[in-house]
Each structure stands twice: as C-alpha cells, then as structure tokens.
A and B are shown apart, each in its own frame.
Chain A
Amino acid sequence: MNWMMRTGGAAPALPTAEQAEPALLVEALQIGLVGARAVTPVVTGLDLSLARQEVLGLVGESGSGKSLTSLAIARLLDTRSVRVLHGSVRLFGRDLLACSEAEMRAVRGKDIGMIFQDPMTSLDPAFTTGYQLTSVIRRHTAVDKQAARRRAVELLGLVGIGDPRRRIDQYPHQLSGGMRQRVMIAMAIACEPRVLIADEPTTALDATTQAQILELIKNLARTLRMSTIITTHDLGVIAEVCDTVAVMYAGQIVEHATTEQIFYHPQHPYTERLLLSLPRVGVEQEMLGIPGAPPRAGDFPPGCRFAPRCEYVTKPQCVANPVPLKQLDAARGSRCVRSEQLTLQGVRT
C-alpha cells in the first residue's frame, strides 16, 4: 500500500523477500511499571509492524503507553522504574532486546534516529549546537573534526536553519523553540538512520511552527527514505503526515489502519469518539468528548478496556473476556467485538 503510494500508483514490481521484511517488527511487547512490591503492566501484548519508508502514527492520550512503546523500541526506558517484561523488537530482523548496551549505543543515532518532545531538555545547554552535532557525527562515522563540522553546517542547512555558519557556534538558549527542534532533527538524521522515531515532536511548539516542523519531517522522511514512527496525541498531526495509524488506549492498540480509513471509516468506538472530540476551524460540528476518564494501569477492566466509557457496549460480550485485535483486512484490525455490526461515524468531508 505504502510502496504503491510512493511510486505514484504505478504497478509495483514484486517485492523481493528482503523488501517484504518490515523495517521494524514489534511482537507481543509487554511493558511494566516497577513498583516497590509488584510490577504493573502498562503496555500489554503490543504488535506493531513498520513497513519500509512508511510513516506510522502512534496516537493516544496521556497514559495510553504510546511514548513508553517508542522509548522501549530504542531501549531508552529508565529500567529502574519501567521495564520491558517480554516481547521482541526487530530492526531489519535484528532483535534489539537481545543487544548489549554497547551495541545499542551504536544502533541509536546510526540505525535509529530519535526526536523528542521538548528540545530544551534534550539538548545540553552547556554546549554549542555545533559541538553536540559533531559529537553525534564523529561517534558513528570515521571523519575528522573539519569534515564533521562541514557536515554539521550542511545538516543545519538541510533542516532549514538560516545562516548555519553562525548558528553552529550558538548555544541552545540562543535559539527559538522551533530552531531547537530543527537542531534536534539535524542530530537525529545526522547519520542517515533508516528508522526515525519522533516522540510528540511538535507538542511543545506553536501552531505556525508546528506546521513548519511537520513539513520538514515529512520531506526528510521522503528524501532520506526513512521509515518513521510518530507518537502524538494530536490527530491533526496524524492527518498531516502519516500513511498508517495505530490508535492506542489503556496500553493496547485498539485499532490500526491506513490514515484515510481511520479518519473516514473508523472501526473502533474509541477512534470514533476521539475524532468527534476535535474542534475544527470553520466547521460546525458538536464536540462530543468521551465521558469519564481512561483506566489507570493496574486497574484495567477485565474485558474491553474502553467498555466503561463506550456507548455501544453490550453485555456480556464486551465485558466478560479480554478482546483480541481482530484482523479485518490486510491493512487493518480492530479490538472491538462489535466492529462488524456497528456503523461508526468518521470525519465528514
């Protein structure tokens, strides 16, 4: 699907076995919060497949587990408090969870680039942008100082920073929020990683800056042929940049599909209500919202986790047993036992 979109709908050549292998394959991932006495599962049984050059959106509200999932993929969880309990994460077939910490340091930055929400806390305030950028370059490639600096200037230009020769010697506090996020992106793509993980990349930014940064991420993903995961709570971001979407709720993926399917023909009541919760400039549509609040980790309902807030709930189907993710067609799946009976409302065009 994704491959066809990129080639403008021309008949695709048959993919070879190697091309068919996803860039990233997450299976049965379970993440737990480590407490004093017990481990509380927060992400349970998560499967995710990121095709080559696909831009996948992982959307969910706070506490849904989307950020933990993206951090777990890069093995960046603080293991004192959060731990992967089981499952596998394969990057082009290589099991990342089996890698040593030293091997992971080589993977991060080189094979996986990461962008975080808040560029002010992710950049070191004590060093110039140039120093931070050249450290990344020199860690992963055998180049001398001058070559690294030339590359750093080139990267700053690539991410749209005007006057890169001056900016390279400035400190993070001398840059605006949008520019800091551009520097973060430059660091993430410095070694041309094959996979880019962006965790809420525009949440801390203003609307007009967000538009610029999304445009940049979209263009870089295309030109550098990166496979990309973007986590966000904002369906507008998804609509703007993603090919496919996985919707997370209470530690599970409740629906996954192409972006257009998700927005116009949702197959899970949570997705429907999330779409109807958004205000839209210039469109009269009642904002409905969802009654109640998501369950907390450790307090997940035994059946469908959305059932207590769902208006379509029927007993005992919905509340008795855990609901598996049902594959509806090649691209999509839904964790709703009633998805085939319900006609859910998408965004009106």
Chain B
Amino acid sequence: MTGSTPLLSARNIHKAFTIRQSALGRAREVVHAVNDVSLDIAPGSTLGIVGESGSGKSTLGRVCLRMVEADRGQIRFGDADLRAMPAGQLRRTRSHMTTIFQDPYSALDPQWTVGRIIEEPLRINGSGGRAERHQMIADILPLVGLSADAIHRVPRSFSGGQRQRIVIARALVTRPKLVFCDEPVSALDVSTRAQVLGLLRELQREFDLAYLFVSHDLGVVERMSDRIAVMYLGSIVEIGAADRVAQGYRHPYTAALVSASPAPDPLAQRARNRVVLNGDPPSPVDIPAGCPFHPRCALAIARCATDKPELVMGADGHGVACHVTNADLALTGDGLLDSVLAGRKPAVERTIS
C-alpha cells in the first residue's frame, strides 16, 4: 500500500439511489448504498471486498469504474481524475479498466459468436485494423484455456466454466490494468470455481493486473486478495491484509462473518461456537444511526448508537471502524470471537461512554 502510487484511489465516495418517489416528490425512499468509503488499489494487487447482499459492495465497484456516477467523492485512476474526465477520454480509459460479471449466462449475447463477443471491446476502442484485432483474439484464447476453433461457436455450446473464460477473454483482450471482478465465480459449480480462480491468478501474474474482487464468500476473497475490505450497510467496517482480516479480525461483524463461513470440516464445524447474529441485516433504506452494526452487535456500548465510528488505520495498514475494539487493541481474532460469543461488554465501556 505504502510506497507505490495507487492505480486506483477513491476518496469519500457516496452513492444513494432513490427507489420510490411519490407524485409530489415528497415521500421518498432512498437506498444509501455507499456511505463515505475510501480505498486504494496498488498496481498488480488484489483488493477484495466482502459483504452480504445490500452491503453496497457491487455498487462501490461500479462507482469506482464510473459505470454509475458517484454522488460525491474523488476517484483517481493513475494520474487522472476519473470523475472529471470528458466522454472521449473516459472511453479510452475504459479499455484499461474492465469488468468480469457474475453470470456468464446473461453476460454473453447468445446470438453472437465468441469471436465477435471478444472483438467488441476492441472495436469500441477503435484498436487496430481487422487483421490486428483478429490476432489479438487469437492471442487471448489460449491464455484463458479456450481452443482456437471457439471463435466460430456461440455461447450455448459452452459449459458455465467455459463461458466464464469467454467473459474473462473479453475483459482482458484490451490489456487492461484494472479488472473489476463482480462475484466472478458465484454462478459456477464448486469444482469449476477453483479452475476459474486459478486462471484469474495466473493472468494477474502474466499481465500485472490489479483486481477489485467483490464476493460474498469470505473463503474465496481470502484466497484471491492481498487486502480485504469488509462492508456492512454501505460502510467499510474493516480493511487490511487478507490474512490479518481473516484471522486477526478486529470488527465484531467480521467475527460473525468468519464464524458463519461454512467449513468443510464436520468436527471443527460442530465443535466451534458460531456467532448467530440476531435478526436480519437492516435495510439500506433505513440505516441505523451511529454504527450501522450496533443493533446486532454483542459488544455495543451506548456511544455506538449515536456516533458513527471512523475507520482508524493502524501503522500496519489494518483499519477498523469500531469504538469498542479501537479502545481495546487486545480484542482481535479468536479473543474477539470469544467476547462476542459471551456477549461480554469489555472493561473499556466505562472509560469510553
């Protein structure tokens, strides 16, 4: 993180959607999808964003690539101000930041041949002549594990995993620097998933790609990421190196997420105590005041209901937005999990509130 200039840098991003509006424009329902989020992605590295549905993780990714406009905040891509960019320059920049979508069934036009699908971004960018474009397609196919004859076939004749390889080829044919992977393996079967994740990692090394990797699956995110950001109701509640967040987590919500992640190990699974959170996540229409997690948090103190905690970054690049754990640095990993399970309010309560 420190040292090299980030490839993508977002500061204080806000994004809200109006989902319902009365005829007079008064009674509105507003989804606060992203609230004051900042992040950096270093060249060639992966930032994983993990969160449940409604956490705003996909919206954040889309805003960072300017697929939707942020309401507020700055986004820099390399040296350029992405949000101030005129349309022509934005289109050229887009070839350097591409997307791999979740569902390889709906992301591909069923009537187009694979060759045409992969050529499309090159045509939009006006890169090269016909022969040159065809050479670029021929070059990318073996890299994603597809045979050369694939270009004449239509998506229907491919399995889910192979279709995702087509989606990946389309995302990489313009030789981007940053790829937004939006739940890239969620629609795939377990055995295919590992192949596609392995391919993404190979391609990352080969082309020095940076990934913004969004998923609800903490196991997958941990495996793919250098750094992980945990989102809850539009805010990053914890961010840091992947192993630190997955094992030395410091936010009570991360503790719940880790303990809810199913492990393929029946003895460990049954022996461990898991945090079963009360109730459902509140709707992003109606985000609680203070810490968004406080109504479900076993460690919440009075202050959590009124003051939204800031993401306090430590010297090691590990940051957490929690009044309680930021006041007691010993609350981390298994120790934090134990406290959450016991519903124990830590001793610091008196000193903070």
Contact = CB atoms under 8 A, between A and B. Distances in A.
A206 B280 CA distance: 10
A277 B190 contact: yes
Contact of A209 (B162, B195, B280): B280
A282 B276 contact: no
A280 B265 contact: yes
A192 interface: no
B266 A260 contact: yes
A235 B264 CA distance: 6
B268 A208 contact: no
Interface string A278-290: 1111110001111
B280 A236 contact: no
Interface string B165-206: 000000000000000000000000111111101100000000
Nearest to B333: A282
Interface size classification for chain A: 35 or more
A275 interface: yes
Contacts of B280: 176-179, 209
Contacts of B274: 211
Nearest to B256: A208
B218 to A, nearest CB: 5
Given A279-B222, A291-B195, A293-B162, A61 B265 contact: no
B52 A239 contact: no
A281 B279 contact: no
Contacts of A178: 280
Q: Which of A61, A162, A177, A206 neighbours the largest number of chain B CB atoms within 10 Å of its CB?
A: A206
A27 interface: no
Interface residues of B, number: 46
Interface in A196-222: 206-212, 215
Interface string B258-290: 111111111111100010110111010000000
Given A212-B277, A291-B195, A279 B266 contact: no
A278 B219 contact: yes
A130 B192 CA distance: 42
A287 B264 contact: no
B266 A208 contact: no
Contacts of A233: 189-190
A288 B192 CA distance: 10
Given A277-B193, A279-B219, A207 B257 contact: yes
Contacts of B161: 293
Contacts of B21: none
B262 A287 contact: no
Contacts of B268: 349
Contact of B264 (A212, A260, A263): A263
Contact of B276 (A162, A179, A211, A235): A211
Contacts of B12: none
A2 interface: no
Given A62-B189, A207-B261, A287 B197 contact: yes
A281 B263 contact: yes
Interface in B232-254: 246-247
Interface string A214-257: 01000000000000000001111111100000000000000000
Interface of A: 61-62, 162, 176-179, 206-212, 215, 233-240, 259-260, 263, 273-275, 277-283, 287-291, 293, 347, 349
Interface of B: 52-53, 159-162, 189-195, 197-198, 216-220, 222-223, 246-247, 256-270, 274, 276-277, 279-281, 283
